[in-house]
């Protein structure tokens, strides 16, 4: 599962992904149902958009399904009705520089940990997006993050982790056509544990209203 993440060093977005990202603020506690910066394929180059986290498929009767579709499992993403069309046609990058998981510490308490790359740099999580239209014609753009089995570092806390795409494959993820689905599926694997690290965070992260550097302090 991926239920919270960070994008603090958003200034890296232009050099890392070639997108304009002016006006963004550091985010320390990004949560579902919020509008989040994602990157989609543009006419000539990738572009940054603000989509809501929690996929609402084009065929949904209403928006209530979003809370159940914040993540898509890599093993079934090409088959499930909620995700299959987006996997073929509407993939996105979800830029981040960390994500959270929780360790149960007894008496109902949970200790959050933030997982990052050892380099501390921004990375791209594999995402899917869709556009839903209400009866009045209003459009809602939403996305989900693809998860895979956890690597050796994350598995001590959770059996799932977000798919982190390798450098050099982000444009392929965005732009590959329907003839490349097998190659796209091959990217949906755990990121190497030896290239990641985990740091204790504050229980403040449990509340999505807390979105400040304080959530990083154990």
Q: Is-catalytic flag, 92?
A: no
Alpha carbons 127 and 86: distance in angstroms, whole number: 9
Phi and psi at 99, nearest 5°, equal -140, 160
- Whether the CB-CB separation of 50 and 36 falls below 8 Å is answered with yes
Q: Which of 2, 12, 79, 175 is catalytic?
A: 2
- Whether the CB-CB separation of 54 and 33 falls below 8 Å is answered with yes
Cα-Cα-Cα-Cα dihedral sign, residues 171, 172, 173, 174: positive
Q: Is-catalytic flag, 2?
A: yes
Q: Which of 75, 101, 121, 139 is catalytic?
A: 101
In sequence order, what are the residues at sequence separation of 6 or more whose Cβ sits closer than 8 angstroms to the Cβ of residue 173? 91, 93, 124, 126, 165, 184, 187
Residues marked active site are found at 2, 101
């Amino acid at each position: 599962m991926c239920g919270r993440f960070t994008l603090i060093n958003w200034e890296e977005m232009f050099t890392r992904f070639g997108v304009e990202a002016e006006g963004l603020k550091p985010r320390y506690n990004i949560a579902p149902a919020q509008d989040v910066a994602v990157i989609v394929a543009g006419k000539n180059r990738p572009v940054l958009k603000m989509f809501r986290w929690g996929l609402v498929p084009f065929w949904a009767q209403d928006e209530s399904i979003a809370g159940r579709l914040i993540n898509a499992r890599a093993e079934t993403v090409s088959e499930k009705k909620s995700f299959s069309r987006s996997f073929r046609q509407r993939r996105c990058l979800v830029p981040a520089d960390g994500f959270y998981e929780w360790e149960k510490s007894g008496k109902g308490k949970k200790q959050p940990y933030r997982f990052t790359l050892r380099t501390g740099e921004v990375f791209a999580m594999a995402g899917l997006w869709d556009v839903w239209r209400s009866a009045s014609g209003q459009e809602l753009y939403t996305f989900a993050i693809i998860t895979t089995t956890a690597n050796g570092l994350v598995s001590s806390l959770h059996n799932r982790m977000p798919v982190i795409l390798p450098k050099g494959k982000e444009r392929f993820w965005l732009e590959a056509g329907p003839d490349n689905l097998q190659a796209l599926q091959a990217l949906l694997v755990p990121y190497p544990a030896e290239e990641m690290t985990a740091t204790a965070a504050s229980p403040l992260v449990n509340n999505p209203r807390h979105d400040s550097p304080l959530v990083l302090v154990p």
